[in-house]
Every structure is written in C-alpha cells, then in structure tokens.
Structure 1
Amino acid sequence: MNISTIAKLANVSTATVSRYLNNGYVSEEKRQKIAEVIARTGYTPSSSAQTLRTGRNNLIGVIVPKISSESIGRMVDGITEIVNHSSYQVLLANTGNDTERELEYLKIFRTNNVDGVIFIGTLMSKKHLAIMRSYKKPIVLLSQQESGVSCVYFDDYGAAEKATDCLIRSGCKRIAHLGVTLRDKAAGRARRGGFMDTLLKNQIPVHEQLIVECEGFSTPDGQAAMQKLLDRGETFDGVFCATDTLAFGAMDCLRQAGISVPDQVCVSAVGNNRMSAIYHPHLTSVNLCHRTGGMEAGAILMEMIQNHVELIQNAQMQCQLFERESTNRTV
C-alpha cells in the first residue's frame, strides 16, 4: 500500500494525496475521499518517505549528564512536554558525567538523523563549544551560558545570594561553604561567587578555610566535605551548600557528630529537591525552576526548527527561596 494506491482508490492524483498527508491545501470533497480510503485501508505513511518529502525526522536529540539527577529529570520533563506537543519525539543520550561521551554524542547528533539538539551542559570545554558552533542544525545549550550558541540558563549566582542571605538573617556570622569544582561555571563558579559576594556586602569575613570543594554532587560527597571541616576543628554557625544532595550529607554528618541543625548550625542550599520538604529538619533551599528551563529550551528549539530561526537566543530563569526548618532559629 502506497500513496499511488490511495490516489487510485480515492480517484485523485498522487500529488493531491501527498498534499493531504503534508497538511497542504486540498478541497474538502477530495479531503473526505482520501480520509475515507485511509480509514478503510488502515494506511499509515512511511516515516522514511515523510523524511524525504519534508527533510525532517521529527526527532530531537537530548544529551544529559546524569539521568538519575532530579534536576536533570525536571529539565527533561519540561523539554518533552513542549517537544511532544509539537509532534516530535525525544532521543535521549545519557553520558554518565563522562566528558568524552558528551563530545561523542555531540558529534553523533551533528551528523545523525535528528532535527535539532538540546545539550544539558556541565563542565564546558573548548572542544564542546567548537562542536556546537559547527552545527548546521539547531542546537540549544541548557544549564550553562556560552557565547555563539543559543542558551537557557539558571540564576545560579542569584540563588546563592538568596541562600546565603537567609543564613545571615538567621544570625549566622561564620559561614562555611560546601561547593563543587569551579570548572562548572554554573553550580561551581557562579554559586561560590554569589556566596562570597553576599558575605562581603554584609561585612561578614570570607574564611577560605571554611570553603570545601566536594568531589562530586552526591550525599556521600557532602558527608565527606563536612567531615573534613569537623576533623580540622573549624568552628562555624552556618553552611551554604551548592546542592541539596550535598546539604543532606552535611546535615547527616552534623547529626552524627551531635551538632543540632538549626540550633547550633543553620544550613541552606540550592535546588529545592523533593526531599527538601521531607528530610528532617526540612531544608531551606532555592528553586531554580529546572522544569520551566526545560520548557523554554524546548520552545526555542522548536521555533528554530519550524520557523527556520537562526538568531542566537538567550534566556535566564528566575529563582525562588523556600525557607524551612534548617534556618529557622531564634536569633
């Protein structure tokens, strides 16, 4: 069964059937005839034939660093809502935080049969940027901001400001920071910058010995970083953590050491993980609007594909502080 057969059964030309299948103009009388034949025969258009006619596969490549991350899951959820609504499907590539695998997938999607790509970036390198800037098809960078490519990014600096300011309003005077590598411009560099600048604006000293760079983003990484501070005998009354998962680990370590949160040490973080309102004590955290960011990235990509928009676009998401028990103490 092909469009020639459909055309004969409907007593119309193959060109008319082709226009019908591609949403072109067809008179109502002929449209009804074609629809009746298709319904009777159960005909479905060949995806490869549609690709030849339209030049599109209706596939979007999405490269993610870690599928198990809640923030990544929210971004992907936002992307798929927009993309699916536009009758496109998502081809997901999970790199497992492997930089070489990220580069490999960027190269694969550059030449493979996808109509566009969304790359959720973390540790950006010159190689990443060179590949993205060489794309002849639409590509959007999500979660990082770089020049020469369309980007949707989060207010990591502002989130750190809000989380740190909350600690100061809770009466904290000597505040530690559990961060991540500064090679990560968003979660590492921007959040540490927001933390340090907020202390200085409030005339609170920045103690370098109270800043610990965690090995990763996990709860055990937060536990290990907090243990380093305790083993060194450092004193502090507040802790700003770059992510919620680091904060959970830090609070667990403090609890095991017999240190009460928030009575002795207040804790704030960035991410607003679902566990933030469940973990005890409930964690004060800043929501970066990851799902909204995913939707924005999906919308920009769809506009680039469907309307042939080549203009580089940038969008920053807003953030919101949720104050909970971990900073709620009497000053």
Structure 2
Amino acid sequence: MADGPTINTIAERAGVSIASVSRVLNGLPTRQETVRKVMAAADELGYVRNAVARSLKSRRTHQVAFAMADVGNPAYLAMLREIQPVLKAAGYRLVLHSTDAVAADEIDVLHSLGERYVDGLIMSPLRVTEAHLRMLATARAPVVIIGSVPEGTRVDNVRADSRTGVRLAVDHLYALGRRRIAMINGPLDTVPGAARGAAYREALHDLGLPYDESLVQIGDFYRPEGARAVAALLDRVPDVDALMCANDLIALGALDVLRAAGKRVPEDVAVVGMDDTDLAAASWPSLTSVSLGSAERGKAAAELLLERLRGDAGEPRVVTVPPRLAVRASTAGPDYDRRQSGYDGEGGGK
C-alpha cells in the first residue's frame, strides 16, 4: 500500500470487477450501485481526492436524476413523460428516485451529487426543510426544483399556482349552489398542503362563506388515506354537499366512501380533485379536477436544466404554470359521462 491504492485494491474493497472500477473512474455508463460502491471504496482507500476527482472533474455522465415523492402517483408520471423525451433528445439518460417524501432520502440525493453519478437533478419535494436549503446552496451540480421554495432561494424553480387552482374549484362549486363545501387536505407541513389549505380559506372568505373548522379534514395524499379522511368527515358532518380534495388520489378515495355510504355524486355530494391526472377522466363518475400542469411543469424543468448543463450561469429562474379547471361528471352530473360516451340511455348511441 506504500505506492497508494490501485484499481485492483479498489475492486477488491468494493467487491466488483476491475473492469467495473475502470468504467467508473473513466466516467463511462455504469450501474448507480456500482458507482456508489467504487466511490466509497476509493474514498476509504484515500483515492477520491486525487485520481478519481481529477478523472471525474472533466467528464460528464450524460445522466440526469429525477427525484419524486411517489413514483406511483400519476402526477409525477405525467411529469416523467415530458422530462424523459426532452433529455433524451439532448443525449441524456434519466435516473429515477422515489423518496416516499422522506426528507433524509432527498437530502441524500442532493449530497450524492458530489459523487458525480449524474450531471444534474430535477427534484419535486413535498417538504422543503432548512437541510434542503443548505444542500441546495452548495449543490455540486445544477438542480431544478418542481414545487414552491422560499423566496430568495437561489435555485431554478418550476411551480404550480395551486392557490388559484383551489379558487377555481371553490368558485365552481359555489356557482352550482353548494354551500357546505368541505376541504380534504394532505399534511399541512407540506408545501401543497399548506398552500391549498390557505387557498380554501381565502376562497370561502371572498365568497362570503364562513370558515368552519369542522368542514376541514387532514389526511394524506394517497387514496386509502383520502378515503379514511372522508369517512371521518362524514361521521362528523353528514350534511356536507361538496368536497374540495387536495389531489385526485384523495378524491378517488372520496368517491369510494360516498358510493359505499349510498350518497349520489354529484346529486348529494359534488367532488373536485386536483392534478387532473389520467385517473380523473377514467373514474366513475368521471372526476372534475383542477389541472396544475404536471406535464408542462416537467417539460419546463427539463428545459431549464438543459440550459444550465449547456453553460448558462445566469440568475435563478422561476416559472409558474397556470391552472385550469376540467369539469366532469362528479360536479356536472351523470349526463356528462353519457354524453361523452355517446350513450343515449335507450340502448344505443347518439
């Protein structure tokens, strides 16, 4: 060891082949887990800060990471469908991370940028902590955040206008004559939960409706948790006539519970979701939902990151995607789905 670590000793310590070590040290495409093992072994042997660092400094991996809270959430899949082709056309491969909204996992992803396994990162965190902000300030590669960050954060940022989106939904329900409009939200310590909860309260105020704490139920942004939250609300407030749900998964859980309770949608209870995912149009009844431009946000984030990777060193940019309301049967009534399917109620199409 007097002459310092070699490829052979790194391979032995990492438990991989010599060829794998060579690929990592030369910045060639390699499995992420292999890169981690090799870099960890090289660090332990005192190799990182000389040969590896010099080798990786001038090389690119031609990989970009996308870190999201839940790979099964259709909103993130919509982003992914736009991110991948933009990056692929520019010669980049996409590496996916599903963090389960665990801050420590997101911090680890940001920290691992120093290992140079990717050239840049797109991240969509549900919570933005002080630890996130510290890591973003010292990130070793370009980062674009999909979602709101505190003012003054020096990072490229693509955000939705969920406050306007909630207002569109509440105004729509009010115009339909609904006055007992409940809010089924996700955790208030998340960026979307806080924004959508505040927007609901503001929308009621602007319409002259009182804010009633009993009409607010906090759950989580998943279908089973949404169902449990709606069941708890109905036990407490059985006369609710509309549900403003913080995302489509919560709204789908609401439809499950209302159906089981024998309540008609929208005759007894109108339901609105947010995100306007593919599931909204495919549900029964089809779901009125606020589109927050998931696909547009994904594309914008990929384009911003590419500009950084091409050398743009300008000031951080903020892109805001406007919302729109997609009205379907869960507020417009059963005739909506019949019209859309061409069914005339007499056994034939129109």
Q: TM-score if structure 1 supplies the norm length?
A: 0.80
Distance in 2 between residues matched to 1:53 and 1:65, nearest whole Å? 30
Q: Which residue is 1:151 aligned to? A: 157
- Amino acid of the residue matched to residue 326 of structure 2? F
Q: CA contact under 8 A between 1:78 and 1:291: conserved in structure 2? A: yes
Q: Which residue is 1:165 aligned to? A: 171
Q: CA contact under 8 A between 2:214 and 2:236: conserved in structure 1? A: no
Q: CA contact under 8 A between 1:178 and 1:211: conserved in structure 2? A: yes
Gaps of 5+ in 1: 1-45
Shift of 1:329: 5.2
Asked if 1:302 corresponds to 2:306, the answer is yes
Secondary structure at the counterpart of residue 122 of structure 1: coil
* Gap change, CA 1:277 and 1:53, over 3 Å in 2: closer
Q: CA contact under 8 A between 2:27 and 2:59: conserved in structure 1? A: no
Distance in 2 between residues matched to 1:65 and 1:117, nearest whole Å? 14
Distance in 2 between residues matched to 1:329 and 1:200, nearest whole Å? 27
Asked if 1:129 corresponds to 2:133, the answer is yes
Q: Which residue is 1:60 aligned to? A: 64
Count the aligned residue pairs.
283
Distance in 1 between residues matched to 2:242 and 2:68, nearest whole Å? 33
Large movers: runs of 4+ above 3 Å:
46-55
* Gap change, CA 1:261 and 1:306, over 3 Å in 2: same
* Gap change, CA 1:203 and 1:307, over 3 Å in 2: same
Distance in 2 between residues matched to 1:322 and 1:110, nearest whole Å? 42
Shift of 1:92: 1.7
Point out the more displaced range, 224-233 or 122-131: 224-233
- Amino acid of the residue matched to residue 150 of structure 1? D
% identical equivalent positions: 26
* Residues 234-267 of structure 1 deviation map (CA, whole Å, 9 limit, x = unaligned): 4211110001111111121112111111111111
Q: Which residue is 1:200 aligned to? A: 205
Cα RMSD over matched residues?
Answer: 2.1
Larger relative contact order (CA 8 Å, sep ≥ 6): 1
- Amino acid of the residue matched to residue 283 of structure 1? L
Q: Which residue is 2:248 aligned to? A: 244
Q: TM-score if structure 2 supplies the norm length?
A: 0.76
- Amino acid of the residue matched to residue 216 of structure 2? I
Secondary structure at the counterpart of residue 199 of structure 1: helix
Q: CA contact under 8 A between 1:217 and 1:243: conserved in structure 2? A: yes
Shift of 1:55: 3.2
Distance in 1 between residues matched to 2:107 and 2:133, nearest whole Å? 10
Gaps of 5+ in 2: 1-24, 30-54, 335-350
Choose the corresponding residue for 1:182, options 188, 211, 225: 188
Shift of 1:53: 9.7
- Amino acid of the residue matched to residue 165 of structure 1? D
Shift of 1:137: 2.2
Shift of 1:136: 3.5
* Residues 166-211 of structure 1 deviation map (CA, whole Å, 9 limit, x = unaligned): 11111101111000111112x2011112211111111111111110
Distance in 2 between residues matched to 1:315 and 1:213, nearest whole Å? 29
Q: CA contact under 8 A between 1:151 and 1:313: conserved in structure 2? A: yes
Bigger Rg over Cα:
1
Distance in 2 between residues matched to 1:68 and 1:233, nearest whole Å? 32
Q: CA contact under 8 A between 1:218 and 1:246: conserved in structure 2? A: yes
* Residues 64-100 of structure 1 deviation map (CA, whole Å, 9 limit, x = unaligned): 2111111111112221121111111112222123221
Q: CA contact under 8 A between 2:70 and 2:100: conserved in structure 1? A: yes
Point out the more displaced range, 196-205 or 46-55: 46-55
